[in-house]
């Protein structure tokens, strides 16, 4: 429920109000495009989604020095295709608002990236560092990114990031990481034994610093990766292969001190009855009526315009 800087309401059924009985030329093509848009939009007809994406409770400029915020959103695996579009809309709007000069330091952390489409992600990674925005992306395998974002955009994302932390991965992902970590000059010693003598030969060869077989065999807690540095903060050992030691007792104490999320909106009436369903449904009906009113006003405006009135058939109704 955000303010007017994100005014988007999903109402696939509202497209039904646009009817043209006589469809010829470009009008027929436009109606076909509208009919194609109805299919994905109709899946998003949810009173709960209408409730979340309406009203004016806060703005999306989360790194605004005057009103800093922490925004946490999540997806539902059962409705991934439905909520993914709504989350993608929020994300694309947030990127435009936070990637500016004069804002606070901020971080965009996305787990399970392939579950949503993040428009402008490659540009955010490339330009956000200069605006003090850190981008952290988490996913299981590169192949997921290629499947959901396409080969070209996935390669841009993979090649633009400067820091990589990886656990156990196999296949092409392990090969890609091994190539990224580079090669190192290694000594090889071979010994030949026969009846008369023993010969030893030593040679050097460029081999993978971290071979794919080692990446695909990592155990839990073991990570490989590389980090980037700055001009005044040089890092000698940029590539690592190590174990992250977790203090289980400290984590347990921290979890025991967690506080419950406070109730933001209470739907209980004076008699103690839960009115959430009725309130959400009333908001849903209100938005539908507002959309119909907007369509009606636009049709009246077009009808009264001497130039635009020709676009409407004589029998056009709402």
Nearest to 94 by CA among 82, 106, 102, 84: 106
Tens-place pLDDT, residues 136-172: 999 998 888 888 888 888 888 888 888 999 999 998 9
Which region among 36-50, 185-199, 210-224 has the lowest average model confidence (pLDDT)?
36-50
Strands 198-208, 239-243: pairing kind: unpaired
Distance between CA 201 and CA 190 in Å, rounded?
5
Q: Is-contact 1 51, C-beta < 8 A?
A: yes
302 to each of 289, 307, 318, how far by Cα in Å? 20, 8, 13
Q: Within 10 Å of residue 288's Cβ, how many Cβ atoms?
A: 16
φ/ψ of residue 231, rounded to 5: -60, -45
> For residue 108, what are the β-bridge partners?
135
User: CA 228 to CA 261: how far, in whole Å?
Assistant: 36
The β-bridge partners of 225 are: 165, 240
User: Pick the residue with more confidence: 21 or 269?
Assistant: 269
Is residue 35 predicted with pLDDT exceeding 80?
no
Residue 264 burial (C-beta neighbours within 10 Å; 0-12, 13-18, 19+): exposed
The closest alpha carbon to 100, from 126, 134, 127, belongs to 127
Question: What percent of the chain lies above the pLDDT cut of 70?
Answer: 88
Three-class DSSP category at 178: helix
Comparing 299 with 2, which gets the higher pLDDT?
299
- Give this prediction's pTM: 0.71
Query: Beta-carbon neighbour count of residue 53 at 10 Å?
Result: 20
Average pLDDT over residues 279-292: 92
Residue 62 DSSP SS3: coil
Contact 120, 149 (CB under 8 A): no
For 224-283, how does the pLDDT look when each residue is reduced to its tens digit (9 = 90+)? 999 988 888 888 888 999 888 888 899 999 999 998 888 888 888 888 888 889 999 999
24 contact partners, CB below 8 Å, separation of at least 6: none
* Count of beta carbons in the 10 Å neighbourhood of residue 62: 19
Question: Residue 295 has what pLDDT?
Answer: 92
Q: Are 95 and 125 in contact (CB under 8 A)?
A: no
**CA–centroid distance for 216 within its chain:** 27
What is d(CA 68, CA 307) in angstroms, rounded to the nearest whole number? 47
Q: What is the DSSP letter of 292?
A: H
- The per-residue pLDDT for range 88-140, each reduced to its tens digit, is 888 888 888 888 888 999 999 988 888 887 777 888 888 888 888 999 999 99
**Going along the chain, which residue ranges are E strands?**
106-111, 133-138, 164-166, 183-193, 198-208, 222-226, 239-243
Q: Is the predicted pLDDT of residue 27 greater than 90, yes or no?
A: no
């Amino acid at each position: 429920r955000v303010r007017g800087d994100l005014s988007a309401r999903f109402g696939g059924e509202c497209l039904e109000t646009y009817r043209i009985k006589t469809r010829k030329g470009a009008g027929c093509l436009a109606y076909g495009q509208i009919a194609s848009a109805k299919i994905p939009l109709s899946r998003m007809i949810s009173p709960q989604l209408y409730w979340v994406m309406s009203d004016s409770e806060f703005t999306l400029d989360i790194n605004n020095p005057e009103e800093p915020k922490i925004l946490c959103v999540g997806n539902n695996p059962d409705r991934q295709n439905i909520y993914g579009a709504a989350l993608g809309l929020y994300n694309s709007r947030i990127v435009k608002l936070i990637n500016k000069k004069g804002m606070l330091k901020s971080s965009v952390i996305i787990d399970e990236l392939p579950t949503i489409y993040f428009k402008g992600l490659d540009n955010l990674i490339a330009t956000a560092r200069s605006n003090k925005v850190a981008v952290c992306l988490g996913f299981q395998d590169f192949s997921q990114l290629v499947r959901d974002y396409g080969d070209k955009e996935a390669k841009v994302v993979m090649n633009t990031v400067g820091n990589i932390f990886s656990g156990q991965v196999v296949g092409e992902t392990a090969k890609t990481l091994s190539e990224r970590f580079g090669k190192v000059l290694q000594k090889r010693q071979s010994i030949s034994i026969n009846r008369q003598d023993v010969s030893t030969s030593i040679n050097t060869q460029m081999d993978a610093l971290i071979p794919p077989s080692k990446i695909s065999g990592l155990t839990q807690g073991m990570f490989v990766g590389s980090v980037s540095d700055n001009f005044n903060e040089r890092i000698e050992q940029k590539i690592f292969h190590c174990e992250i030691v977790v203090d289980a007792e400290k984590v347990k104490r921290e979890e025991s001190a967690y506080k419950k999320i406070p109730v933001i909106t209470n739907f209980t009436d004076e008699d103690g009855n839960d009115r959430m369903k009725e309130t959400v449904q009333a908001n849903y009906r209100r938005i539908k009526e507002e959309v119909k009113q907007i369509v009606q006003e636009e049709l009246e405006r077009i009808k009264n315009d001497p130039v635009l009135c020709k676009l409407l058939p004589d029998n056009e109704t709402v």
